Amino acid sequence: MASKLSIGIATFSLSQQDAILNLIDIRTRKNPLFSRKMKNLKKRGFFVKNLENIQGEERDLILISSTYGKGKDNKYRAFLGQINNSLRGGKMLNVLVTRAKIKMVVFNSVPLEILEKYKLYIENEGLQGKALFYTYLNYAKAVNDKNNEMITSILHDLAKEKRADFDSQQHLRKLNKFNNYLVNELRKENIKIAKFTSNFKLGGFNYDLLLQMSRKKKLLLDFNGKLGVNPLEDFLFDLQKKKIASQQGYIYYRLWISNLFNSNSLELKKIKSILN
């Protein structure tokens, strides 16, 4: 199975991306066996990309390098580049951690004593920048350790960080309007939708849209970049929501609205292929 997986490496900076590519190149030239393995991986779409150029890529297995750690003086400095961008950092992190189709492996270099203070960072800075980054790494560690108590605690902490100005009624109005638009577009592509439900509830989570097909297939959709309707940075919920959906017999897909409007026909064909 592992020999057939497509693999990608995700980093948080261009310099880390280049460093990994350089090491791969050196080993490829020195080791014939490694060179053959890399040729096979490249045939299956192997890549090394960073936070800013990974959007649109998906592979079976994604290896994530957390990139940042202690320097030669054994001191940690939180120079986190684009992660600290209050407008784009969370969205870019969201993109990076949702690239894996089957499995994701995180290589962490941020000191644990820093990560353990994630709640303090959330309290002081809100759910953005380094607070978001450290929360994600804690979540990944909890999943790896099968620490269900910690997983629940982290998701609970995130759920408390709702935006003060969030209007649930306005959210539902915008969501219903967009869902009607999307369903009409899908029906134009001859996708036979028997029924659809906005804000569908399953396993303690809300999903933006449920599509029930005439062939008894059920697709759950969540949206990114959706007109301000998302009350919190929900990327950490993705894996849990996908897992719950799969266990209950649903197909799960996260739709980027910008992709839909920039390349309408391509995105609709992608949804159609998922349903077929």
SS3 for 60-96 is EEEEEECCCCECCCCCECCCCHHHHCCCCHHHHHHHH
Closest CA to 114 of 128, 133, 132, 134: 134
- Give yes or no for a contact between 6 and 44, defined as CB atoms under 8 angstroms apart: yes
The pair of structure tokens assigned to 134 is 């450290």
Average pLDDT, whole number, for the chain?
83
pLDDT at 176 over 70: yes
State yes or no: pLDDT of 209 exceeds 90: yes
Q: DSSP letters along 190-204, please? A: T--EEEEEEEEEETT
Per-residue pLDDT band for 210 (boundaries 50, 70, 90) equals: very high
Tell me the domain boundaries of the chain: 2-159, 168-275
Q: Which residue has the tokens 């303090």?
A: 120
What local confidence, expressed as pLDDT, does residue 34 receive? Answer: 95
Structure tokens belonging to residue 130: 């380094």
Contact 225, 257 (CB under 8 A): yes
When pLDDT is cut at 50, 70 and 90, the band that residue 197 belongs to is very high
Strand blocks (E) in 172-224: 193-202, 205-213, 218-224
Minimal CA–CA distance to 94: which of 54, 123, 124, 60?
Answer: 54
135-149 average pLDDT score: 90
Q: Is the pLDDT of residue 236 over 70?
A: no
How much is the average pLDDT of 216-238? 64
pLDDT surpasses 70 at 128: yes
H/E run at residue 256: strand 251-256
Q: Give 108-157 as a DSSP string.
A: --S-HHHHTTHHHHHHHH-SSHHHHHHHHHHHHHHHHTT-HHHHHHHHHH
Q: Say if residue 50's pLDDT is above 70.
A: yes
Q: What percent of the chain has pLDDT over 70?
A: 88
At residue 166, the pLDDT reads 47
Segment 13-25, tens digit of pLDDT: 899 999 999 999 9
Q: What is the pLDDT of residue 217?
A: 85
User: What three-state secondary structure class fits 237?
Assistant: helix
CA-CA distance, 68 to 109, in Å (whole number)?
6
* Averaged pLDDT for residues 198-217: 85
Q: Greater confidence, 35 or 69?
A: 35
Instruction: Look at residue 216 in the predicted model and tell me its pLDDT.
Output: 77
Q: What is the mean pLDDT of residues 141-166?
A: 76
pTM of the shown model: 0.64
Multiple choice CATH, 168-275, 3.40.960.10, 2.40.33.20, 3.30.465.10, 3.40.50.300: 3.40.960.10
User: Does pLDDT of 119 surpass 80?
Assistant: yes
For range 34-43, the mean pLDDT: 94
pLDDT at 161: 61
> Is 60 exceeded by the pLDDT of residue 163?
no
Angle at 208 between CA 8 and CA 234, to 5 degrees: 50
- For residue 87, is pLDDT > 70? no
Per-residue model confidence (pLDDT) at position 206: 83
* Residue 109, φ and ψ in degrees, nearest 5: -125, -5
Helix (H) or strand (E) holding 8: strand 7-11
Tokens of 37: 């393995």
Residue 161 and residue 127: Cα distance in Å, rounded?
Answer: 7
